[in-house]
Amino acid sequence: MDSTIDISDPARALSLPHIRYQLIRLEDTVLFHLIERAQFPLNPTIYTPGAITIAHSSSTSALSFMDWVLRSQEELQSKIRRYQSPDEHPFFPDAMQPLVLPELKYPRILWGNDVNVNAELKQRYVEHILPAVCKGKKERPEAQENYGSSATADVACLQSLSRRIHFGKFVAESKFLAEPERFAELIKKEDREGIDAAITNAKVEQKVLERLRVKAEMYGVDSGMDADAPRKIDVEAVVAMYRDHVIPLTKVVEVEYLMQRLKGTEWE
């Protein structure tokens, strides 16, 4: 569970071509996980705290079944260095466990910060993203045999979305290094609107949405399928997810990271 990105060379890790490559790869990862989740009904019961009794588990009444699965995964993955990597952020920071593998020392790339938007991401995922992705399947009656599979797919979706969104820290650092005086002035003024305007490139965002639409249309059908066969995922739901949630949350990460950029100490 070590870093899945090459950060052995900080200069390369913060180069725009490398960042662009990683973001495109993450688009594929997010989309494939969403397609996997979309095969199941919405199953709202697994997102309701206390709706499912979790045997042999204490203090779980405040957690939904999906949250319990996610927290349990993070407890395990924290032991094998997942959250030592600068591109990974837990949904349950209090669930982190001592390492069973030797601690790693990564090169200095990002500056000290505590930016983590996973709570907002999870809420948006359950309340907006998932209902749109599972549209057309929510009318199907829930079946208990779907609960574990749905929650497992949710964990994969949430973790990939989190990586994609928090990769904004690398984007922000790269942009700062390209124009340090401009961003330093905005940061000193605590001008969040100015920072947001400086990091926004509407043309690039539109290209991302167009590329994602093509991918969703291509990956959302099986080769040899009848033209009238139902798609594996709603293309508009995928595009809306990026437009209304992924891109805005990424910009929140970028802005808040930069707001801490001059106050933090170099990350080691």
Give the catalytic positions in this structure: 20, 164, 175, 201, 205, 250, 254
Neighbours of 202 (CB within 10 A): 7
- Cα–Cα distance for residue pair 83/224, rounded to 1 Å: 41
CB within 8 A of 192, min separation 6: which ones?
255, 259
Residue 80, SS3? Answer: coil
Structure tokens at 48: 């309701």
Q: Among residues 172, 159, 209, which one has the least CA distance to residue 29?
A: 159
For residue 79, the one-letter residue type is K
Cα 93 to chain center, whole Å? 15
- Cα–Cα distance for residue pair 70/60, rounded to 1 Å: 12
**For 202-209, which contacts have Cβ atoms below 8 Å and span 24 or more sequence positions?**
205/247, 208/23, 208/27, 208/242, 208/247, 209/239, 209/242, 209/243
Q: Among residues 32, 35, 30, 66, which one has the least CA distance to residue 48?
A: 66
